[in-house]
Amino acid sequence: PAPRADLPAAPDHGLGVTLNGDGADFAVHAPHATAVDLCLLTMDADGAVVEETRIGMHGPSRGLWSAHVPGVGAGQRYGYRVYGPWNPNGGLRYNPRKFLLDPYAKALATKAVLDDSLYAHKVGVHGLPTSANWEISELDSLPYAAIGVVTDPNYRPVAPSPRISADQRVIYETHVVGLTKQLEAIPEDLRGTYAGVAHPVMIEYLKNLGVTTIELLPIHAKFDEPWLTRRGLSNYWGYATLSYFAPEPTYATKAAQESGPQAVLNEVRAMVSTLHEAGLEVVLDVVYNHTAEGGFDGPTLSLRGFDDLGYYLHDPVNKRQYVDVTGTGNTVDFRNRQAIRLTLDSLRYWVSEMGVDGFRFDLAVTLGRHAGEWRRDHPLLVAMTTDPVLCSKLLIAEPWDVGPGGWRTGEFPIPFLDWNDRYRGALREFWLSDPKEMSHGNNGHDARELATRIAGSADLFAWGDTVHGRTPLASVNFVTAHDGFTLADLTAFDHKHNLANLEENRDGSDNNNSWNHGLEGAIASPIIGVDPDVRDVTGIVEDIIPARQRSQRNLLATLLV
């Protein structure tokens, strides 16, 4: 059992940490736990833990555990240990030997490092359970766990958001690191960082393109999938969220990382503020549909250790199994009120405290599921579209997931915008796959589908909550995104060749509607790029390059129209 709770309970003013008077209030949600320890850490200059002080918390009160701790201020490193039943068959896997990251932690002092001790159950080769009985692990995970930090709420406000007319919005999707990592015009110490995104050279580039809105691939703190780490690979895109509040610290400058977690937060805020001052909106790609804890046999890092049965969607018969509609091992269960609260609190934080202008929701259909059933009036979607902090911000749905009835383009409620995959497919078909078929003497399609998409996709969007539907401005039209081929790939490959990630070309879609124009692979060209492994064996390179460039211009021109 945990130590007796001999400090006062915290007032009920929200989850996470709140600086209050002579100290700090801590509150977490663990409804099935029998006891919870708040763990205050003392760390040396190298980031190693030299002392752990455990404080028993009051609870559970409506599932909440809390404590007011005098003397605690900004910079305090902390986490939790949770006690309770070990019953994997019932979806309960409490193990106080696992140091847990606060789901509401605003910054990280250390990132989690893959180790057998991160698993609540005993594991063997490749992290697999050592027995069918799922024996409890006796290893302490603290040396390898992610550690949270109490942050200072006093900071310089972010500059106000620019006002962009909906019919003039041009969204530029990019990755914080990849955008500037190889850009020599930016100082070397800023390349591949939050600060690099907001550098004057990058701002001028975006403004000259006519971009109004920059959409960043996930910047929430992440933990790479164990199977990737064991292969020496990483989840570069970042769709493996560990924390819904803390930014990914490795994207900050080296100087900020060395100065500490608060400096990382300040760099993110400064990036948003500078982009606002330049007239650019900032949208975050966010992943609330699943977490980095993976499948039922994955590590216990945060949510799983507090309430595995509540946060994740379990098989109703065999609770040792998850129902996975995301294809990533786990699915957040949005029938659970605490999962909804966590998501809304995170969104409000990023708007109110970090200054962002909106969100693009990865696999957004999952957010509207009542277990297997998708509902456009789901409580989470209703809350987001009516919340006074969120409803005026950009809410962009990736309107599909891999569950039953998972394709929902055009069906999200006002004021959501939807990624329009039908538009993407129509443009690729008209300009690439149809000409490819006709070059082989086959028939293509007529222009009706293309005309419908250019005219605003009324078949998808001209219905809904109002008499006139959501209007064409609800459709986010695009040709390429981070999923699948780039524009250069579309005109250089008939088939995908995803080999570098060691998945033997199994991942990604085979339906790309692409056209290599007669030669598979890239050719040395300012537009196409260079692949030294590709040799021209046809003698028609001079014909292929202009043909590919023409197709690229056709796609871009149609998109801009």
Supply the residues annotated as catalytic: 362, 398
What are phi and psi for residue 188, nearest 5 degrees?
A: -55, -40
Cα separation, 166 vs 120, whole angstroms:
48
| Closest C-alpha among 216, 251, 193 to residue 360 | 216
Q: Tokens representing 445?
A: 């399609």
Cα separation, 542 vs 348, whole angstroms:
54
User: Sign of dihedral through CA atoms 533, 488, 248, 324?
Assistant: negative
Q: Say if CB 518 and CB 536 are below 8 A apart.
A: no
CA angle 216, 104, 283 (to 5 degrees): 15
User: Sign of dihedral through CA atoms 14, 157, 148, 20?
Assistant: negative
Three-class DSSP labels, 233-274: CCCCCCCCECCCCCECHHHCCHHHHHHCHHHHHHHHHHHHHH
Amino acid residing at 217: L
Q: How many residues does the chain have?
A: 561
**Contacts for 194-201: CB closer than 8 Å, 24+ residues apart:** 194/219, 194/247, 194/251, 194/252, 194/253, 194/267, 194/268, 194/270, 194/271, 195/252, 195/253, 195/256, 195/267, 195/270, 195/271, 197/271, 197/275, 198/270, 198/271, 198/274, 198/275
Q: Tokens representing 95?
A: 């193990």
Q: Say if CB 62 and CB 341 are below 8 A apart.
A: no
Which class for 99: exposed (0-12), middle (13-18), buried (19 or more C-beta within 10 A)?
Answer: buried
347: left (phi over 0), alpha (psi -120 to 50) or beta: alpha
Which class for 132: exposed (0-12), middle (13-18), buried (19 or more C-beta within 10 A)?
Answer: exposed
Order across the sheet with 58-61: list the strands: 16-20, 23-29, 64-70, 58-61
